[in-house]
Amino acid sequence: MANLKTVFVTGGTGYIGSHCIIDLLNEGYEVITIDNLTNSRSGALRRVQEITGKSVTFYECDLLDGRAVHAIFAKHKIDYVIHFAAMKAVGESMQFPLIYYKNNVIGTINLIEAMKANSVYQMVFSSSCTVYGDPEHLPITEDHPTGAVTNVYGRTKYLIEEMLKDLSHAEEKWNIIALRYFNPVGAHPSGRLGEDPTKNFTNLMPYIGQVAIGKKPSLTIFGCDYDTPDGTGVRDYIHVMDLASGHVSALSKLDEEHLRFKPLNLGLGHGLSVLEFIKEFERVSKVHIPYEYSGRRVGDVATLVCDGTRGVKELKWKPTRDFQVMYIQPRYRPGSFCVATSEGFRGRD
């Protein structure tokens, strides 16, 4: 049955955005999405429509173009916004800080102004575990201090959270959930959609995938001297489809309760080191992943693992996919793999 409510999704051709749109369409929402296509491809939405059998309204638009954003809002009746669009590479953010501040922060201001001008006050914001900085304790709860951020990307997310918090205090109409993700991996079970960035790979899973199919000779591990059991960084990985369903649940939460501003963690609550991740991929796929060590990447921290209890309780949601599902597409038999490429999905059967 149609939901008949419309969600405006920024960054909808990106990795998380495109998977989230699938869940939104399957739940009966109408979807309008924008993307500037700097690190994604519009073909992702074609695959979304093939998977769901439903249409998506798409505009190639940059949030820095405030006039264009206002025009789109004026053209449609929008009930909610899910804001994914951002530049998101930790290392790159340390090299080009001004670009990150301009794109992420000013883009969000333009979005908020368009929302307010058109009386749209319900938002799910794609935040990040990086707002916690180098954690004082593990696992990290939502009450952990934020702000002592170690990289520019995380600082933009922290500044946006503070801005949204101030806005919700000043104007009570606003109803915002900030979802602080830990590390998304995996792909849609159809094998038609996955993580396929157009820039150089910085996330672990697509990098490993490119090595597995022979497009890269080896994986570079940044840092082998962290205070972790094997010296490599430890992260809390969550399947992208669990993350997608968390966003749909967040929209339901906004309908149920006026929160003003509420941050929630989304993660599994236990971590894998980079070496453990590689070994698990090799075990499941039966493919050897050669790797080499490099120096630490500026802005990274040793360990980020969440306590996701509050998110599970508040959203009436829980992650259901384990590590094996994160690594391997279900349409392939165990011992095989497939990864996203610009030409589609490739793998070894």
> What's the order of all strands across the beta sheet hosting 80-83?
57-60, 30-35, 6-10, 80-83, 122-128, 175-181, 261-266
| Burial class, 322, CB count within 10 angstroms (exposed 0-12 / middle 13-18 / buried 19+) | exposed
Sign of CA dihedral 325, 209, 243, 15: negative
Residue 316: its H or E element:
none
CB 326 within 8 A of CB 237: yes
79: phi then psi, degrees, rounded to nearest 5: -100, -35
Cα(290)–Cα(208) distance, integer angstroms: 9
Active site residue 100: no
CA nearest neighbour of 9 among 184, 151, 126, 139: 126
40: phi then psi, degrees, rounded to nearest 5: -160, 175
Tell me which of 153, 158, 181, 207 is the catalytic residue. 153
Residue with tokens 């989230």: 20
CA nearest neighbour of 238 among 151, 312, 142: 312
Q: What is the DSSP string of 8-23?
A: EEETTTSHHHHHHHHH
Catalytic residues, by residue number, are 153
